[in-house]
Amino acid sequence: MRIRPIIHFSTNFEPTRLFAMKASQSKVLFNLFGKDVFTFELVNDHGMKVSLSNYGGIVQSLIFLDRDGNFVDVVLGFDKIEDYLSADYLKNYPYFGAIIGRYANRISQAKFPVDGQLIHVSSNTPPHQLHGGVEGFDKKVWEVISVEEHPTPKVKLAYLSADGEEGFPGNVEITLIFELNNQNELSLMIEAVTDAATAINMCNHCYFNLNGDGSLIEDHLVEIPADYYLAQDADYVVTGELIATKNSTHDFLNPTPIGQNSIPGEGYDQAFVLNKSARTWGKAASAFSPKTGITLEVLTDQPGVQFYSGKYLEVQNGKNGVHYKPFTSFCFETQHHPNSVNIPSFAQTILRPGEKYQSKTVFKLSCSNPSE
């Protein structure tokens, strides 16, 4: 999606402030499960714009200026929120822009132990569970708590996941805070509390294309500060084994084109172990488009990131009618290591009463000067 604005550039290639910081809420778009669905728009002083919805916590668009002064929408999705519920889209469902929970990625055999009891959860990719089950947080209508404009544009959403939902124990209260600042950072903060021991491991599932179209992303330069990635079986289930990234096809310790070392027709769908401790702040990944000059940097307090280059993507009639094909986008899903509930050597993801689950991820956009 490209919109050419009338805009002036200063000598340091930053747009003059023709925009005003804003947070707005749409009228009711439709009602689902007896709850009203809205969209929200966050804008900073530089014109960076985020559109999101309380349906699924979906980030619908993320718009930023490229090196030529074009506004570029760098995330995949649809022009209308209603399209995220269409049968055609759900048939080959990629979780565009949504909040994933209660548990991101795959839980082996759709079961895990908690305090000596074996918990069985829904199996939506038999025999495993993927991204929270049949109707995870990505398909829920979240309650709107607040929409704030100052000091920075912010939207706060909440959801109560009832005991037994998708097989998970405990009533879990979750809050999401989306916030946009003038450093061109979109932050996502997640908090959760429970009344019974349960598994929780959440993430955002945006698909990025920094060219702003349906083109292949093989030329995007990706960097992931991870000395190890996690082995997985034929069903993409993490086994617990760590594999060194250096000099492998998964070596992104330095900026590397996505297509340089990937296996043709396979690409990447792998969990990386970040070179930092859990709950410490640091870089998870970055990507750069030589075409637009846009860089995406992802920062997080989570210990891992799932890098997915869209092997199974097949979505008709995306934004502006674009057909999204395999390898036309990528995901950086910040989270605890997948299947941690079944791997004792991994940091555990069981939340207990009296504790608070907290995570924060920042998506920071910048753009290089054409002369650089």
pLDDT confidence band for 18 (50 / 70 / 90): low
Instruction: Please report, for the domain that includes residue 319, its CATH number.
Output: 2.70.98.10
Residue 201, CA distances (Å) to 142, 188, 190, 192, 215 in order: 18, 14, 10, 10, 32
The residue among 150, 129, 130, 201 whose CA lies nearest residue 45 is 150
* Number of domains, the chain: 1
Q: Which residues are catalytic?
A: 205, 333
pLDDT confidence band for 121 (50 / 70 / 90): very high
CB 366 within 8 A of CB 294: yes
d(CA 309, CA 288): 14
Mean pLDDT of 196-221: 97
Mean pLDDT of 226-252: 97
pLDDT tens string 56-82: 999 999 999 999 999 999 999 999 999
Q: Flag whether 72 is in a domain.
A: yes
CB 209 within 8 A of CB 74: yes
Mean pLDDT of 47-55: 97
d(CA 202, CA 132): 9
CB 153 within 8 A of CB 23: yes
Predicted model pTM: 0.93
Q: Flag whether 184 is in a domain.
A: yes
Specify the pLDDT at position 4.
34
Q: Flag whether 83 is in a domain.
A: yes
Mean pLDDT of 313-342: 97
Specify the pLDDT at position 277.
82
Specify the pLDDT at position 19.
78
pLDDT confidence band for 274 (50 / 70 / 90): very high
d(CA 259, CA 251): 12
Long-range CB contact pairs, 139-145, < 8 A, 24+? 139/56, 140/55, 140/56, 141/32, 141/33, 141/35, 141/36, 141/37, 141/54, 141/55, 142/54, 142/55, 142/56, 142/57, 142/176, 143/35, 143/54, 144/25, 144/38, 144/54, 145/175
Mean pLDDT of 168-187: 98
Q: Flag whether 372 is in a domain.
A: no
Q: Flag whether 150 is in a domain.
A: yes
Burial 144-158 (b: 16+ CB within 10 A, else e): beebeeeebbbbbbb
pLDDT confidence band for 6 (50 / 70 / 90): very low
Q: Flag whether 50 is in a domain.
A: yes
Specify the pLDDT at position 20.
84
pLDDT tens string 333-364: 999 999 999 999 999 899 999 999 999 999 99
What is the pLDDT of the chain when averaged over all its residues?
93
Mean pLDDT of 313-330: 96
Please give the share of the chain, as a percent, with pLDDT higher than 90.
92
Per-residue pLDDT for 11 more than 60? no
Q: Flag whether 280 is in a domain.
A: yes
Specify the pLDDT at position 368.
80
Which range of residues forms the domain containing residue 130? 2-367
